[in-house]
Chain A
Amino acid sequence: MKEPKKPFEYSRKWSMRWVFLTTMVFLYAPIIVLIVFSFNNSRRGGNVIWKGFTTKYYAKAFANEELMLAFANSMTIAVTSTIISVFLGAMTAVFLWRFRFPFKPLAEGLVSLPIIIPEICMGVSLAMFFSQMGWWTTGDTPWPFNLSNIILAHITFSFPFAAMVIRTRLQNFNREMEEAAKDLGASEFQVFRDILLPHMRPGLIAAALLSFTLSLDDFVITFFTSGPNTVTFPVKIYSMVRFSITPEINAASTVLIVLTLILTFLALRYQRLTDGPDRG
């Protein structure tokens, strides 16, 4: 005899199982196919006929100078914009958490607005902004300064995320901790260095990983703000796709997926630390 279903035991309903299964298939089948066929020994990436296992397209991707330059660009942009975003985000978070000032809710709203603005609007407006200001880098600008437009754009969209993550962490800081340190003789700076900064650390790390991931695989905003010789990894892949789909693209995309997965995993781990209770 089977036990009767309990009220929330959806996992035992066939209809629910089907919904779950189809969702997973639609979500992950394309990605799995992409990864699998990066090892396909075929000349065309769109070819869905398995012709044997090979890693030669990885070798080919890594030997592709343009692709590698794009990758180096992406990494440079991601690292630079992450450092600046986390720094700005931390300052913003501490400022919003610590001080009271007129129109504070408005300021909080404005800081997080870039999170909800469609990327296409951000991209277009940044492109227009750079044009109006005459800030476009030219083809002669030496590397890595030719990336400055993209870096600025990436800081613009990733710093609100950083600020939000760090702010969340600050929210569960026990103010008595700060007073206790002062009571024991610490100055304002020593309180920040010895008490507040260690408390913020998981938030800072999570914010950095988040900013890095966002920057690494951003396409839309980068597309609008990249100059003549500044191609990033996602943009390069896009142009290669337009030309012809080869397993090399699959291989490059797989590398990007793996990198993003690792970083997201780390970010989530630190995020969990951030949300955990923090009792003194």
Chain B
Amino acid sequence: MDPTVDKLPENTHSKTILSLNAIGKRFGKVTALEDVSVDIKEGEIFALLGPSGCGKSTLLRIISGFETPSSGELLLDGQDMTRTAPNQRPVNMVFQSYAVFPHMSVADNVAYGLKMEKTPKDEITDRVNQALTQVHLQDFKDRMPDQLSGGQKQRVALARALVKQPRVLLLDEPLSALDAKLRDAMRLELVKLQESVGVTFIIVTHDQSEALAMADRVAVLESGRLRQVDTPSALYQKPVDAFVADFIGRVHTFNTQHISLDNGSVTALVDELDSITLPLTELPDGIQAGPQPESPAVIAFRPECVSVQLATATPPAPDAHIQFNGFLGDIAFQGQHSIVEVTRGDQQSVTAVVNHQELHTLQGQPLGTPVLASCAYSDLMLLPPA
């Protein structure tokens, strides 16, 4: 699968607003971005997700105009914007430090962009009031920034950018500077705000849970390359490779030694496990049949797919499940579900996320009770290496 091609069926309402075509960026000898192509649709929340140093901030700065790509082009509403100055783009940004102007009141901060546009005074007042109401700061108009909390400053930055009615709003790590409780509230509020204003949001984040919770679509970046662009659920359920699988949620991986495709079924010989027949009719992209190279394809499964039972109970069908004999480790109660650790020999372990029912049979058992962890073949993913 080519990760740069959007796999979603074309939605008729959403036309492309921003096209990145083969964007590349080099700083001296360092390649920050390589051949990044993606189409962002009007009115969606699009997240750029990746570990630090993956190039997501550089990409955001290219979209905002603070960096010029070394190669490729940027189209906004079909117009070439690659070399347009940041103050000429209908794109606004909420900076990571919020960058609220300290010597201006809240209202003056929000009005600044409109003053630059030479908007008439009355209109400025109206639009500033409207923008401040949108972010629930209507009562803070005359405050100075040093009288505001971090969360309020962020709202000022949001209002200041939104009041310009940008085609695209860029948010650089919008939640990273907030404390945990405020972060969850703000996450919801940002989504609601986007729904009400209808502006396309592009959010840069390193936090996968943030991206999954807020975005309509997520682009996973790693060392300057786009690994996958998909909806959160597709990223989770159908990651294109082991990197994405591991970055989006937790995953257990096992290297394969040999993969064969015959009669419409895929059989994999896996390290530590036996030969497994996968419910696939063809090999996924990027995987070769036959003996596996040094970085082999992997078999992966998520802790949510693992069931744990006492070793004395009836095991699941062996020809449809991979099974691990182990011993009961720590159980972490998480409310809706619990996380159970099953320790195996040689310091390895399998983590399972279990429901109340399963937990019930395990609770009260002493540590080290022999248990059986299993995962159905249908829940296994065969993925190219990271």
Q: How far is the CB of A37 from chain B (nearest CB, A)?
A: 48
- Establish whether residues B97 and A174, one from each chain, have CB atoms under 8 Å apart when the complex forms: yes
Q: Which of A167-218 contact B (CB under 8 A)?
A: 174, 176-177, 179-187, 190, 194-195, 198-199
- Establish whether residues A183 and B96, one from each chain, have CB atoms under 8 Å apart when the complex forms: no
Give the contacting residue for B112; candidates A179, A184, A278; CB below 8 A: A184
- Establish whether residues A194 and B112, one from each chain, have CB atoms under 8 Å apart when the complex forms: yes
Q: Which residues of A contact B153 (CB under 8 A)?
A: 280
Give the contacting residue for B86; candidates A182, A190, A198, A199; CB below 8 A: A182
- Establish whether residues A186 and B116, one from each chain, have CB atoms under 8 Å apart when the complex forms: yes
Q: Which residues of A contact B87 (CB under 8 A)?
A: 182-187
Q: Which residues of B contact A177 (CB under 8 A)?
A: 99, 101
B interface bracket (residues with beta carbon within 8 Å of A): 20 to 34
Q: Which residues of A contact B157 (CB under 8 A)?
A: 180
For A186, the closest partner residue in chain B by CB is: B116
Q: How far is the CB of B72 from chain A (nearest CB, A)?
A: 22
- Establish whether residues B99 and A278, one from each chain, have CB atoms under 8 Å apart when the complex forms: no
A174/B116 contact (C-beta < 8 A), A183-B64, A183-B86, A186-B87 known: no
Q: Which residues of B contact A179 (CB under 8 A)?
A: 64, 66, 86, 93, 95, 99
A177, A184, A186: most-surrounded residue (chain B CB, <10 A): A184
Q: Which of B286-307 contact A (CB under 8 A)?
A: none
Residues of A in contact (CB 8 Å), total 20
**In whole angstroms, how far apart are the Cα atoms of A194 and B116 in the complex?**
11
Q: Which residues of A contact B117 (CB under 8 A)?
A: 185
Q: Which residues of A contact B127 (CB under 8 A)?
A: none
Interface check B103, CB cutoff 8 A: yes
Interface check B145, CB cutoff 8 A: yes
**In whole angstroms, how far apart are the Cα atoms of A11 and B323 in the complex?**
74
**In whole angstroms, how far apart are the Cα atoms of A181 and B93 in the complex?**
10
Interface check B92, CB cutoff 8 A: yes
**In whole angstroms, how far apart are the Cα atoms of A96 and B113 in the complex?**
29
Q: Which of A249-280 contact B (CB under 8 A)?
A: 278-280
Q: How far is the CB of B165 from chain A (nearest CB, A)?
A: 12
For A180, the closest partner residue in chain B by CB is: B99
Q: How far is the CB of A200 from chain B (nearest CB, A)?
A: 11
Q: Which of A127-186 contact B (CB under 8 A)?
A: 174, 176-177, 179-186
Q: Which of B141-183 contact A (CB under 8 A)?
A: 145-146, 153, 157, 160-161, 164
Q: Which residues of B contact A186 (CB under 8 A)?
A: 87, 112, 116
For A195, the closest partner residue in chain B by CB is: B101
**In whole angstroms, how far apart are the Cα atoms of A99 and B237 in the complex?**
49
- Establish whether residues A280 and B112, one from each chain, have CB atoms under 8 Å apart when the complex forms: no
9 pairs, CB–CB < 8 Å, chain A vs chain B: A174-B99, A176-B96, A180-B157, A184-B164, A186-B116, A194-B112, A195-B101, A279-B102, A280-B145
> Which 4 interchain pairs have the tightest Cβ spacing?
A184-B113, A185-B116, A180-B99, A176-B99
| Further pairs besides A199-B102, A280-B153: 7, Cβ < 8 Å | A174-B97, A177-B101, A182-B86, A183-B87, A183-B92, A190-B116, A279-B146
